[in-house]
Structure 1
């Protein structure tokens, strides 16, 4: 059996009559050419008629030209009327709308408000959102739940997964191809190359990126710093130790931290980036070179990492990241090392950057950018109505309206580089500038702590070693180095 190509007509702006006319005309005037994969004269703005060919790879992938390759006028007429009939179904009452079930782990207050923007846009089209939320920082619990569902043959419409996990699911044939939508919406032009690498599998789009987070941020409560006699957020390791000591002496928790393996590693990778630099970070944590993992700079990174432990309170073990962020928000702690999803919590609590808190790169790491890209993978579905809702979800996620609203709440920056940051705060503008600057000097680096590299099994092994080193003072630096080298070999 050949692979099935599903045709979607979605039109969030015009009337149903306009939609039918435009879609039928677009189909009728289509050119069958690899150089012209979209209809001649097809309206391309965000409120125009979207013709979405969602390619589903059961045996062999179907390319756009398989559908558009109509050679005779009669074939074009038949195709046009088929498209017209499909567009009529979208103008029917909401009873024909589909359900989109989305697995995610965005359960903190700031994340919940961000997700509400997506739910509202899905509801506008009449589709039903089914929440599949799994509590657990960095998504470990969510991934376990996802595997159970897919193995049982009950895949959700979409799931928030990222980094190598996208490739792993795609290699199993579980994900739908999104190439036709990507062509119509010009994803190759608006998405950074480093992002495309994470959402493509063998050259085909299989997931939709929604943002770019920076992981190597240091968040500071400005009122706590003033009370502790700290003039400005520290920009070097030595300055940080002085500031942390002042904060602790003034009765505050110096570093708000959650003692979970991924949080231990996000602190460590920020320290290592500042101590060892971008090149060694890449060689050690992305390329997994034994020589880089055992270099003297890595030893100094572990030593500096351990020096921070006295500034963390004794109740940190097991604490969720957003609970640690709340300690800074409420003025109980001075600092937190965390990605800019933490800013979403500050914003949700009514705090403003520059007034209540500051965002600065973790010391000595301002010339590099550890990134996290939240993505939604689209799983293979059988039900047509569910496919239609899934297609609209994919369309909305990279739409300008969602990109602006969502990222202002989430704390991240839009993944589309053609969206201006008017209305975004200074932290976001600094993030975009640093992203662009880091790209020019090859210093965009995937966060190991939050699942962007390397493979998922190796990630877990590396994080386990760092977490053990943090929690076990008897483990020496030399022993930790040896374990890191062995962990990097775990596949």
Structure 2
């Protein structure tokens, strides 16, 4: 069954998940799978799931055409640089940030802002679910940035726009930037857009000057089976999922990178995927790797849903203050405790 994040732990706690420890030990999964995934795939210290990939959430994608027309020499590295670039872009009459408003897309952009402004706040608010962090001055500042982006740097078409058409605006040269996970590579590829020619990629803005990585992962959870044939089939499937061959073929197509850290990305992978693997390792070494709240990799769904509802309410309510939104998030999370 395909499950992810805290849902794996919830099913494991309920009982009935299969124990893959013997297979994992034989194939050395603990040594090759990204460390941030281990507590997710081993919620009670035992392997119960196999990760198919690693998605990076904190990407910024840029239109080479729009950036050149606006005099933006490179993708912005900080939020101050992002705002300055957007002022140049909208002065040309183009959209700065391509967006489609929905709970998960709004929260994707928002968690990237929070992470890029204050990684410690991100951990307290979105990994631990701390209500006081959610109503803090740092969170209000991040909401101020979100308000600026959604009110000035997006376009009215974001309401009702299909999520998978956001990247098209960048590829076609109608919008400068897009903040979204690396499945965007698959959308670019399907539409015939080329990296370096039609679009460029980089880590989304961070104000703390280090490589960073917000991680998402798709995974398959295995449940206990009595039939020996089913048990063998599970082992075969789990082994296949974590094989270098599957991790290569699957992720080249999807835009993500392997969950294994030992797969060579020099052949067949997009330059952005190669950058993702490099930044993943740097974030592991630098202690800046985190899991994604917006994509269900951290807090329980009841807390995640409360935060995402509040964020989208804020995006769609122009007269709602950042302080009110922060308090709403905190209050709704507290109500679920």
TM-score, normalised to structure 2, is: 0.92
1:214-234 deviation per Cα after TM superposition (whole angstroms, max 9, x unaligned): 111111111222233322222
Match for residue 270 of structure 1 among 108, 112, 115: 112
Match for residue 446 of structure 1 among 291, 302, 309: 291
CA-CA distance at 1:382 after TM superposition: 5.5
Question: Would the aligned equivalents of 2:36 and 2:291 in 1 still touch at CA under 8 Å?
Answer: no
Partner of 2:306: 461
State yes or no: 1:331 paired with 2:173: yes
Question: Would the aligned equivalents of 2:9 and 2:43 in 1 still touch at CA under 8 Å?
Answer: yes
The 1:392/1:292 distance shift into structure 2, 3 A limit, reads: same
CA-CA distance at 1:315 after TM superposition: 2.3
State yes or no: 1:182 paired with 2:24: yes
Structure 1 counterpart SS, 2:156: coil
Structure 2 counterpart SS, 1:205: coil
Partner of 1:287: 128
Partner of 2:245: 401
The 1:295/1:353 distance shift into structure 2, 3 A limit, reads: same
Give the 4+ runs in structure 1 shifted more than 6 A.
none
- More helix by percentage: 2
Question: Would the aligned equivalents of 2:129 and 2:303 in 1 still touch at CA under 8 Å?
Answer: no
Give distance in 2, aligned partners of 1:353 and 1:175: 42
Question: Would the aligned equivalents of 1:175 and 1:206 in 2 still touch at CA under 8 Å?
Answer: yes
Question: Would the aligned equivalents of 1:213 and 1:372 in 2 still touch at CA under 8 Å?
Answer: yes
Structure 2 counterpart SS, 1:230: coil
Match for residue 250 of structure 1 among 92, 95, 101: 92
State yes or no: 1:171 paired with 2:16: no
State yes or no: 1:364 paired with 2:203: no
Question: Would the aligned equivalents of 2:52 and 2:217 in 1 still touch at CA under 8 Å?
Answer: yes
The 1:304/1:405 distance shift into structure 2, 3 A limit, reads: same
1:155-190 deviation per Cα after TM superposition (whole angstroms, max 9, x unaligned): xxx22x211011112222243222221122111111
Partner of 1:224: 66
Match for residue 139 of structure 2 among 284, 294, 298: 298
Structure 2 counterpart SS, 1:405: helix
Match for residue 425 of structure 1 among 256, 270, 279: 270
CA-CA distance at 1:325 after TM superposition: 1.7
Match for residue 392 of structure 1 among 230, 233, 236: 236
Structure 2 counterpart SS, 1:304: helix
Partner of 1:211: 53
Please show how residues 2-401 of structure 1 align to structure 2 within 5 Å. 158-159=1-2, 161-275=3-117, 277-309=118-150, 310-364=152-206, 366-381=210-225, 385-401=229-245
Partner of 1:61: none
Structure 2 counterpart SS, 1:315: helix
Moved more, 396-405 or 423-432: 423-432
Structure 1 counterpart SS, 2:318: coil
Partner of 1:437: 282
Structure 1 counterpart SS, 2:157: coil
Give distance in 1, aligned partners of 2:219 and 2:116: 27
CA RMSD of aligned residues (A): 1.9
1:359-386 deviation per Cα after TM superposition (whole angstroms, max 9, x unaligned): 1111126532111121111234566555
Moved more, 166-175 or 263-272: 166-175
CA-CA distance at 1:326 after TM superposition: 2.2
Question: Would the aligned equivalents of 1:348 and 1:409 in 2 still touch at CA under 8 Å?
Answer: no
State yes or no: 1:487 paired with 2:332: yes
Question: Would the aligned equivalents of 1:278 and 1:368 in 2 still touch at CA under 8 Å?
Answer: no
CA-CA distance at 1:245 after TM superposition: 3.0
Give distance in 2, aligned partners of 1:436 and 1:325: 27
Structure 1 counterpart SS, 2:24: helix
Structure 2 counterpart SS, 1:414: coil
CA-CA distance at 1:199 after TM superposition: 0.6
Question: Would the aligned equivalents of 2:59 and 2:203 in 1 still touch at CA under 8 Å?
Answer: yes
